Amino acid sequence: MSDAAIAILPSALGPIELRGTDAGLSAVSFLEAAVPATPAAAVPACLREARAQVLAYFGRELRTFELRTHVERGTAFQRQVWAALLGVDYGRTASYLDLARQLGNPGAVRAVGAANGQNPLGLVWPCHRVIGANGTLTGYAGGLWRKKWLLAFEQPAAQTELF
């Protein structure tokens, strides 16, 4: 998607890259390198609402993203998993097994994990809320330290502790 617009946002977890077109948001990624944020006035029109909602999330003003998305990749199964992520509410977690059962295929735990790892809209499609069946934190494309931070951030007791 070479014609996608890009904007970089600052966050407590490092820079976040948004990509999208007029059709919708196509990717949200944490960046490892220090990259300057896109000035608000320079954010492409197609990414302004996504920018506003991500900043509202980190400002504790938003718990559920309501964005037009346009993801062209993914198998039918991956898309089912990504859609199931939207059912894991803010401040809650689900296991990979929970999602596999929800999809009617309890034997697909590893496939659910692999699909979760390919989620192009991390944070917006909250894959950070998916944990191991025994409660352990397992893989996260943005790094386990970010997953741990996000889960703590979404807990009521953390509402004043992190800032």
Domain annotation covers residue 162: no
Domain annotation covers residue 89: yes
Segment 56-90, tens digit of pLDDT:
999 999 999 999 999 999 999 999 999 999 999 99
> Average pLDDT of the chain?
91
Q: Is the pLDDT of residue 55 over 50?
A: yes
Active site residue 46: no
Pairing between β-strand 130-131 and β-strand 94-95 as defined by DSSP bridges: parallel
d(CA 92, CA 80): 20
Segment 105-139, tens digit of pLDDT:
999 999 999 999 999 998 999 999 999 888 888 88
Are 82 and 141 in the same domain?
A: yes
In the chain, the percentage of residues whose pLDDT exceeds 70 is 94
Catalytic site residue from 9, 25, 124, 127: 127
d(CA 149, CA 14): 12
d(CA 156, CA 87): 19
Domain annotation covers residue 163: no
Residue 71 forms beta bridges with which residues?
Answer: none
Give the pLDDT confidence score for residue 1 in this predicted structure: 44
Give the pLDDT confidence score for residue 162 in this predicted structure: 47
* Residues in contact with 3: Cβ distance below 8 Å, sequence separation at least 6, in sequence order: 21
Domain annotation covers residue 104: yes
Domain annotation covers residue 50: yes
At residue 163 the predicted structure's pLDDT band, cuts being 50, 70 and 90, is very low
pTM above the 0.85 mark? yes
d(CA 21, CA 161): 37
Give the pLDDT confidence score for residue 157 in this predicted structure: 56
Tokens of 89: 């509410």
Tokens of 57: 């999330």
Its domain, for residue 30, covers 5-59
Cα atoms found within 13 Å of the Cα of residue 23, Cβ hemisphere only: 8
Domain annotation covers residue 70: no
Domain annotation covers residue 80: yes
